[in-house]
């Protein structure tokens, strides 16, 4: 059955590439996805798959959920793909370059969606042999802070699901590899905004001011001591300042400065500790100079925690059935993913598929203006998903 499924998927490769390139040329930002979900809905409906539209609409999005119910009872497993893009100008020199100014698929979500559509087409042809149900979750707004996972879950996308799996093409891994990690696999994500309120004045008389730029500069350095001096080094953590804005002219000391940053951790207690430390450091730095401040700390995605049994499913499929691919034990990834919310509700696994290929110039990191991946990753994602259908007993579990 494995070989039959992967052969059928390979026959869909040209179509999957075409779908991926169409999405790549017409990217849509988080919460602005209109064209993409319509294409997904039409494709699934043409396959005879039951479709729910506008899933998670109360959260500002338009998720799509397809349900393929077999003729016999059995488990229900779900696969998730995201389909939003990023506010980045595409700088690749390829025929399928983004046609939308300032927007591009710089993280591979077009690959995820095209691969899952290919899987849906293969499985739809086996509906009369299916023992159980396969749910196809197409999610909006993974890249946004609010995320699309939570509203889709609240709208019932996981109702009746026993396990859920997700995949991410990964430009750091070479094509032909599949990486997965048991337990904590991706970090939690929090964001913070700090406004330092000083007292401005003439650049020639700094002694008459409370300079928010100097205080902000001190604060950027002071915040780095949280990870280096206050967090146990055995607990991975990151505090990054990504934005620092203040002032308008060289001879003017402004009244305020604004700092924006992110926190990544794997340990919930460390997550709480860093939030507390940020407040204490900001307060002490401002108090010493007589300034005041505003701190807005926003809790984002939780730690992505893979289920051990679901991880074994992925490992077994790759190592025993899809032997052309190399199985890797992934290190922790400090990037965050709202797939973590699905895993808080249901057992499952999130795995990585290599997309790097120097010969194709697919060498740039995610969120880079020249990001691209080897499109053969479409087949690898699809092959693993199809293998998981068999491994979970929904289709005949034999190697023929």
Residues with a catalytic annotation lie at 84, 142
Characterize the bridge pairing of strands 252-253 and 326-329: unpaired
Measured distance CA(39)–CA(35) in Å, rounded: 6
Characterize the bridge pairing of strands 237-246 and 256-265: antiparallel
Residue that the structure tokens 């046609």 belong to:
99
Residue 104: strand pairing partners: 86
Q: What order do you get walking across the sheet with 188-197 strand by strand?
A: 237-246, 256-265, 188-197, 292-299
For the chain, where are the alpha helices, taking DSSP H only? 2-11, 13-25, 35-46, 109-124, 149-154, 212-223, 225, 268-289, 308-316, 339-345, 377-391
Which tokens sit at 366?
A: 């995610």
Measured distance CA(171)–CA(355) in Å, rounded: 5
Measured distance CA(329)–CA(217) in Å, rounded: 40
Closest to 260 (Cα-Cα) out of 217, 287, 300, 296: 296
Measured distance CA(258)–CA(240) in Å, rounded: 14
| Number of Cβ within a 10 Å radius of residue 208 | 11
DSSP designation for 364: P
């Amino acid at each position: 059955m494995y070989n039959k499924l992967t052969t059928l998927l390979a026959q869909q490769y040209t179509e999957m590439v075409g779908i991926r390139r169409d999405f790549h040329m017409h990217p849509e930002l988080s919460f602005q996805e209109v064209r993409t979900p319509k294409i997904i809905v039409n494709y699934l409906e043409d396959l005879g798959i039951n479709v729910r539209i506008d899933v998670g609409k109360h959260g500002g999005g338009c998720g799509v959920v397809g349900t393929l119910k077999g003729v016999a009872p059995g488990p229900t497993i779900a696969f998730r793909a995201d389909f939003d893009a990023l506010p980045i100008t595409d700088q690749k020199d390829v025929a399928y370059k983004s046609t939308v100014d300032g927007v591009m698929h710089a993280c591979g979500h077009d690959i995820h969606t095209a691969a899952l559509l290919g899987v849906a087409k293969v499985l739809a042809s086996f509906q009369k042999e299916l023992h159980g149900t396969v749910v196809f979750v197409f999610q909006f707004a993974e890249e946004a802070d609010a995320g699309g996972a939570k509203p889709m879950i609240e709208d019932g996308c996981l109702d009746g699901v026993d396990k859920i799996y997700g995949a991410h093409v990964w430009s750091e891994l070479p094509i032909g590899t599949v990486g997965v990690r048991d337990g904590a696999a991706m970090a939690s994500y929090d964001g913070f905004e700090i406004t330092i309120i000083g007292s401005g004045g003439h650049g020639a008389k700094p002694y008459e001011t409370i300079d928010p730029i100097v205080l902000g500069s001190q604060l950027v350095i002071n915040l780095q001591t949280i990870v280096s001096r206050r967090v146990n080094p055995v607990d991975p953590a990151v505090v990054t300042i990504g934005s620092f804005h203040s002032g308008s002219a060289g001879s003017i000391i402004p009244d305020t400065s604004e700092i924006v940053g992110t926190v990544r951790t794997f340990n919930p207690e460390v997550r709480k500790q860093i939030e507390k430390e940020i407040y204490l450091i900001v307060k002490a730095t401002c108090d010493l100079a007589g300034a005041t401040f505003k701190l807005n700390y926003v809790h984002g995605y939780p730690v992505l925690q893979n289920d051990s049994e679901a991880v074994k499913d992925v490992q077994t499929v790759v190592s025993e059935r899809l032997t052309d691919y190399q199985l890797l034990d992934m290190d922790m990834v400090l990037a965050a993913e709202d797939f973590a919310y699905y895993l808080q509700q249901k057992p499952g696994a999130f795995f990585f598929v290599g997309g790097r290929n120097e010969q194709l110039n697919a060498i740039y990191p995610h969120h880079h203006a020249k990001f691209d991946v080897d499109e053969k990753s479409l087949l690898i994602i699809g092959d693993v998903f199809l293998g998981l259908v068999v491994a979970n007993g929904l289709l005949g579990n034999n190697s023929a």
